[in-house]
Amino acid sequence: MSVIDEVLEANEIYARTHELRALTPRPQRKLAVLTCMDTRLSKRTLGLQDGDAHIIRNAGGIVTDDAVRSLIVSHYLLGTEEFMIINHTDCGLMHATEQDLRTRIQNRAGTAAVAPAFFYAFQNIDENVRHQLQKLHSHPWIPKEVAVRGFFYDDSSGHLREIKDF
């Protein structure tokens, strides 16, 4: 059985009670978190319950065009008032340069490709978080009233550390 088939079985069981039925689309704690897809960082890591926050994930926890789109929808349409950006230790995007990644994937796939234009590989977490903060702080559609804060998550200790944008 594939994992997807296992998920479908589990969903059949979940749907019998559908405990999250009462939640609304608006995050109860008015928070949006942009972070990496890494499995070691979860709602539990942040003390969040289902329904508390938007969790927007991509490889690296990068402020891409699409992440900005989600954050703008999160604020303007669904009422979030605080944004949290989290990058973490031992991220897959820290193990190679942009060019290495492209070459490696191109060699395996056997062909070049136009997209993605960037993988957003990085070496320094603090610096990378600062870049993401700068992208949001300078965006004309992200109001100054929205608190935007950046963090470093240590996968081995489980701790978050704040990174300031200056």
Give the residues lining the site for Zn ion (CB under 5 A).
36, 38, 91
CB-nearer residue toward Zn ion: 34 or 142: 34
Q: Are 151 and 161 in contact (CB under 8 A)?
A: yes
CB-nearer residue toward Zn ion: 36 or 67: 36
Phi-psi domain of 78 (left: phi exceeds 0; alpha: psi -120 through 50; beta: other): alpha
Minimum Å gap between C-beta 60 and Zn ion is 6
Minimum Å gap between C-beta 82 and Zn ion is 22
**Could you give the C-alpha distances from 136 to 9, 11, 65, 68, 108, in angstroms and in order?**
40, 36, 11, 8, 35
Minimum Å gap between C-beta 159 and Zn ion is 16
CB-nearer residue toward Zn ion: 24 or 157: 157
Minimum Å gap between C-beta 61 and Zn ion is 7
Which distant-in-sequence residues (6+ apart) come within 8 Å of 63 by Cβ?
34, 85, 131, 132, 135, 136
CB-nearer residue toward Zn ion: 75 or 131: 131
Per DSSP, the three-state class of 146 is coil
